[in-house]
Amino acid sequence: MHRYPVTVHYEDTDLGGIVYHANYLKFIERARSDWVRALGIDQVALRREGVIFAVHHIEAWFQAPATLDEQLSVHTSVIEAGVARLVLDQQVYRGETCLFRAQVTLVSMTTEGKPRRLPKEVRALSGNT
Amino acid sequence: MHRYPVTVHYEDTDLGGIVYHANYLKFIERARSDWVRALGIDQVALRREGVIFAVHHIEAWFQAPATLDEQLSVHTSVIEAGVARLVLDQQVYRGETCLFRAQVTLVSMTTEGKPRRLPKEVRALSGNT
Amino acid sequence: MHRYPVTVHYEDTDLGGIVYHANYLKFIERARSDWVRALGIDQVALRREGVIFAVHHIEAWFQAPATLDEQLSVHTSVIEAGVARLVLDQQVYRGETCLFRAQVTLVSMTTEGKPRRLPKEVRALSGNT
Amino acid sequence: MHRYPVTVHYEDTDLGGIVYHANYLKFIERARSDWVRALGIDQVALRREGVIFAVHHIEAWFQAPATLDEQLSVHTSVIEAGVARLVLDQQVYRGETCLFRAQVTLVSMTTEGKPRRLPKEVRALSGNT
């Protein structure tokens, strides 16, 4: 499992005094980018070669609110890695409390939208969550 | 069904030249606020009385990309209105093409997190989508 | 003078219950895009030809806060239009009250960063604010 | 001088492939929050006591673009600390290159908008940049 730290900033909050719901998608996206980098994949170089990861489907549960200055941790693990499709489980914790959970399906495609094999570093993870 | 227009601005795009995925959640939230306003509900006044709508669960499908300056339309309809729970179907169209679809579950609660009855204007919609 | 309407959404607010300061830059950027469009300039086509407008300098005064659901109006006028440089005055009003004011300097350049003449539609405005 | 690291994420970029200009204000705000925290000031507690820091004026120079995955550093130093007014110089670097620079004036006030003395930890910095 991959862990990624997030601090709650002013920009993340809304008038309710808590993190605006859509911003959790940003938090988990940062974690995915860091995870991909940790696997040795250079997203910028991949894109230059015409390969991108696109978010295809997200199911998300908003369980408890987070507030300013809190230190959160995004836990990312692979549920399933197919040929061109990757399903991740991503959870945002404050200490032992899970605040947000999402199941995210990504697809690997060319910039023209044609399916492309996932990078071998990702396919190698299949089953090793 | 409620329709709400959205224009794609620079701030909505990412380096892929398309709308950043998390921003669709902002688009559909603007549409919900407008829909609630159209029902005659004043969210600001409700909050002052200690009642809020919180996003509880979202399932979202990212179907096609949108680009700068495009005029989109968010279509919102009620799937189910319970006592304190509201399920909406929200779709983002460019012309006849559905780019994004979400099923959003909201709960009506006090600012302390206790369930509260939905405003009567919302409960009246049950079954009338 | 060009006027552009902005509604304050949840996403624009912060825990202080008011519009997060950086978001005024988004509001005035939307107004600039609309203004450019109204002049008959297609930013997307221009970029395809390798010409962009880049923000070079901003001086901004935050005068009064805005809150959820408020209807604001961005007033944009040209202070100076040079060969490759454009200086705008942009003010955000709620009714008669000016909440935010900025003087924004834009430069017209190629995507490689070389200065480029402003589109003739913009240069024609010089002195006609 | 205070240094604060920022990584450029997808959410920060726009269709130009670079950091969207308004997001530099977010970067430097994160740095200010960290700086305040490092001085031993708890912004959340201060706000509970009815004291806030509001951005009053910003002058900003956009000098060079930043792109995805780049590691930036925000350098913050005090230009002037008055009774209720603080002027900061904030610069965003990539390595030795300054990409963005801002002079930011903050005011210390009650949540009702009345001027309030800056916390003593801040006033003590006057002249010690």
Q: Which pLDDT tens digit goes with each residue over C78-127? A: 999 999 999 999 999 999 999 999 999 999 999 888 999 998 888 887 65
C-alpha to C-alpha distance for D16 and D13, rounded to whole angstroms: 8
Q: Average of pLDDT values for B87-96?
A: 98
Query: Are A41 and A49 within 8 A, CB to CB?
Result: no
Would you state the pLDDT for residue D127?
Answer: 53
Instruction: Determine, for residues A22 and B26 on separate chains, whether the beta-carbon distance falls below 8 Å.
Output: yes
Residues of A in contact with C11 (CB under 8 A): 14, 20, 22
Instruction: Determine, for residues D58 and C55 on separate chains, whether the beta-carbon distance falls below 8 Å.
Output: no
Smallest CA-to-CA distance from B22 within A20, D65, A85 is with A20
Per-residue pLDDT of chain A (129 residues; tens, 9 = 90+): 999 999 999 999 999 999 999 999 999 999 999 999 999 999 889 999 999 999 999 999 999 999 999 999 999 999 999 999 999 999 999 999 999 999 999 999 998 889 999 988 888 876 544
Q: Which residue has the higher pLDDT, B123 or D26?
A: D26
Average predicted confidence (pLDDT) for chain B: 94
**Cα nearest neighbour of B7 on chain C:** C30
In order, the DSSP letters of chain C are -EEEEEEPPGGGB-TTSSB-TTHHHHHHHHHHHHHHHHTT--HHHHHHTTEEEEEEEEEEEE-S---TT-EEEEEEEEEEE-SSEEEEEEEEEETTEEEEEEEEEEEEEETTS-B-PPPHHHHTTTT--
Per DSSP, the three-state class of A116 is: coil
C-alpha to C-alpha distance for D88 and D79, rounded to whole angstroms: 5
Flag whether residue B20 sits within 8 Å of chain D, measured between CB atoms: yes
Flag whether residue A68 sits within 8 Å of chain C, measured between CB atoms: yes
DSSP secondary-structure letter at D10? G
Residues of chain D with pLDDT under 50: 128-129
Residue B35, exposed/middle/buried by CB under 10 A (0-12, 13-18, 19+)? buried
Q: Count of alpha carbons within 13 Å of D47, Cβ hemisphere only? A: 12
Residues of D in contact with C47 (CB under 8 A): 15-16
C-alpha distances in angstroms, A71 versus A24, A31, B23?
13, 14, 24
C-alpha distances in angstroms, C1 versus B61, B87, C59, C62, D96?
41, 44, 19, 21, 42
Would you state the pLDDT for residue C111?
Answer: 86
Enumerate the domain spans of chain D: 2-123
**Cα nearest neighbour of A56 on chain B:** B62
Q: At a CB cut-off of 8 Å and minimum separation 6, what does B67 contact?
A: B8, B13, B17, B18, B19, C44, D15
Q: Of the ranges A56-60, A117-121, B9-13, B57-61, which one carries the lowest mean pLDDT score? A: A117-121
Give me A95's structure tokens: 């200490």
Instruction: Determine, for residues B21 and A25 on separate chains, whether the beta-carbon distance falls below 8 Å.
Output: yes
Flag whether residue B49 sits within 8 Å of chain D, measured between CB atoms: no
C-alpha to C-alpha distance for D43 and C6, rounded to whole angstroms: 30
Would you state the pLDDT for residue A123?
Answer: 85
Catalytic site positions of B: 14
* pTM of this structure: 0.96
**Cα nearest neighbour of C66 on chain A:** A15
Strands B71-81 and A97-110: unpaired
Phi first, then psi: what are they for C53, rounded to 5°? Answer: -105, 125
Smallest CA-to-CA distance from A17 within B27, D27, C18, D109 is with C18
User: Does 3.10.129.10 match the CATH number of domain B2-123?
Assistant: yes
C-alpha distances in angstroms, C79 versus B79, C83, C110?
52, 14, 23
C-alpha distances in angstroms, C36 versus A90, B10, C44, C81?
41, 13, 11, 13
C-alpha to C-alpha distance for A37 and A31, rounded to whole angstroms: 10
